[in-house]
Copies of this chain bind each other. A is one copy, B any other.
């Protein structure tokens, strides 16, 4: 046996399984590289056509179940099969002006950009759900908490748009990440390019990359691009964990602000009030576990030499993919949660009232209306709350302390303390008042559509590039050689 049994079973065989999933990327690269060798006339047309036809056949054949002895990996296996078709002399020319190194680096970037786009698409779906639900809930009152305690009333739209803006920043981060990731290493060969007069731009274009990774050493050794790719994903995972934890609290039976339908809840026959929204815990778990997978990738690169190392290989790459898959699940669960949860507005009003959450607004009103100081206003309202919200005590206290006449009627005071009034008066930029929310929705929508459009553009660009590659490759095969 060429390799030690332990090495083969532990390293080579597992790598073989990984590479099977990456194989179509490898074939695309073969096609693009071959077309480039033809266009630059590095190889003669007839040879190119012969290789192309063999490649085409190979792609339609079944892959071996197991890695045969003595073959290092799937790429060598494919090369051997190619040699069996057209002879080793001719087959060898496919490898002109390239190396395992630039092929691998290119495959991995194709894989990562795919994952980034998939996550971006899930995220876009979620953000659309958030924005749509926000639009339908501009007046749905909600209670906002600080440090686990009720603080101030607001609206569901205000809350959901907060998340939506966070996710929009993540989306913009994904677009930046794609700009770093979607560059083509091909042509770097082992690490210093080649003496052949290749045209790296042709290969890059065919494969849907924005442009080549210019410096060829960097194209092979850097771990930047994968770290940059996982950055926005980690932020997203962290955000989702925080969302889950907050909704778990608001959906707890004692708080009871958010309700979930039976299809997302586990019920106890004997404790009918116990409705565990375990979907939220599963969201939290997927968030922190995807976070952990991305962490593992980051840590794997640390303190490794700035050279071509196997950390830039399939084993670590699949750790990244695992994280992305779990994160996609988390996004799906979040979308489901957003879609199906409802607000118990009566409970919001009850809690807001019982905890005096709207009392600050009455104090603010006294400041604005009677030009008294904050301190006085707070003292008066505080006494009022302590009195159990007795109107007469409010009037008496106010007039005694300020020497002014109190002109609000009992119903005016009540209205002043209502959740709806609290929200209504907050019309400045970013507040929960209807006008503010409308403006927010507008500025959100513009930025979001732009982000969404950019993701779509990248996706389309890649698809069209690969489409052109398939067309040109087909023409090559059917051309007279």
Encode contact with B along A190-217: 1 for CB under 8 Å, 0 otherwise: 1111111111110000000000111111
Q: Please, how many angstroms separate the alpha-carbon atoms of A284 and B261 in the complex?
A: 32
Q: Which residues of B contact A423 (CB under 8 A)?
A: 192
The answer to the question of A425 belonging to the interface, with a C-beta cut-off of 8 Å to chain B, is: yes
A278's partner among B147, B192, B304, B329 (CB-CB below 8 A) is: B147
Q: Which residues of B contact A274 (CB under 8 A)?
A: 149-151, 355-356
Q: Please, how many angstroms separate the alpha-carbon atoms of A166 and B221 in the complex?
A: 10
Given contacts A147-B309, A302-B241, contact A428 B356 (CB under 8 A): no
Q: Are B304 and A431 in contact (CB under 8 A)?
A: no
Q: Are A149 and B93 in contact (CB under 8 A)?
A: no
Q: Are B228 and A169 in contact (CB under 8 A)?
A: yes
Q: Which residues of B contact A315 (CB under 8 A)?
A: 282, 285-286, 289
Within 8 A of B (CB), among A134-154: 144-154
Encode contact with B along A302-346: 1 for CB under 8 Å, 0 otherwise: 111111111101011001000000000100110110001000000
Given contacts A72-B266, A235-B228, A242-B301, contact A364 B10 (CB under 8 A): no
Q: Which residues of B contact A163 (CB under 8 A)?
A: 218, 306
Q: Please, how many angstroms separate the alpha-carbon atoms of A435 and B96 in the complex?
A: 22
Q: Which residues of B contact A153 (CB under 8 A)?
A: 192
Which residue of B has the minimal Cβ distance to A255? Answer: B254
Smallest beta-carbon distance A255→chain B, Å: 5
Q: Are A292 and B300 in contact (CB under 8 A)?
A: yes
Smallest beta-carbon distance A108→chain B, Å: 14
A305's partner among B201, B249, B316 (CB-CB below 8 A) is: B249
Give the oligomeric copy count. 4
A284's partner among B162, B298, B304 (CB-CB below 8 A) is: B304
Q: Please, how many angstroms separate the alpha-carbon atoms of A147 and B192 in the complex?
A: 15
Within 8 A of B (CB), among A414-436: 422-423, 425-426, 428-432, 436
- Which among A6, A252, A361, A379 has the highest number of chain B CB atoms within 10 Å? A6
The answer to the question of A37 belonging to the interface, with a C-beta cut-off of 8 Å to chain B, is: no
Q: Are A282 and B310 in contact (CB under 8 A)?
A: yes
Q: Are A192 and B292 in contact (CB under 8 A)?
A: no
Q: Please, how many angstroms separate the alpha-carbon atoms of A117 and B256 in the complex?
A: 45
Q: Which residues of B contact A176 (CB under 8 A)?
A: 172-173, 176
Q: Which residues of B contact A188 (CB under 8 A)?
A: 430
The answer to the question of A65 belonging to the interface, with a C-beta cut-off of 8 Å to chain B, is: no
Smallest beta-carbon distance A155→chain B, Å: 9
The answer to the question of A263 belonging to the interface, with a C-beta cut-off of 8 Å to chain B, is: yes
A382's partner among B96, B212, B246, B272 (CB-CB below 8 A) is: B272
Smallest beta-carbon distance A385→chain B, Å: 6
Encode contact with B along A345-383: 1 for CB under 8 Å, 0 otherwise: 000000100111101110111011000011110110110
Q: Please, how many angstroms separate the alpha-carbon atoms of A333 and B219 in the complex?
A: 25
Given contacts A196-B368, A214-B440, A282-B310, contact A144 B191 (CB under 8 A): yes
Q: Are A430 and B216 in contact (CB under 8 A)?
A: yes
The answer to the question of A438 belonging to the interface, with a C-beta cut-off of 8 Å to chain B, is: no
Q: Are A272 and B302 in contact (CB under 8 A)?
A: no
Within 8 A of B (CB), among A115-174: 144-154, 158-159, 161-163, 165-166, 169-170, 172-173
Encode contact with B along A5-22: 1 for CB under 8 Å, 0 otherwise: 011001100000000000
Q: Which residues of B contact A261 (CB under 8 A)?
A: 4
Which residue of B has the minimal Cβ distance to A385? Answer: B272
A and B contact pairs by CB, cutoff 8 A, 8 listed: A158-B192, A193-B436, A196-B364, A238-B298, A245-B305, A254-B256, A271-B385, A273-B356
Q: Are B154 and A191 in contact (CB under 8 A)?
A: yes
Q: Are B162 and A221 in contact (CB under 8 A)?
A: yes
Q: Which residues of B contact A195 (CB under 8 A)?
A: 361, 364-365, 368, 425-426
Q: Please, how many angstroms separate the alpha-carbon atoms of A316 and B1 in the complex?
A: 39
A429's partner among B7, B200, B232, B431 (CB-CB below 8 A) is: B200
Q: Are A148 and B364 in contact (CB under 8 A)?
A: no
Q: Please, how many angstroms separate the alpha-carbon atoms of A148 and B296 in the complex?
A: 23
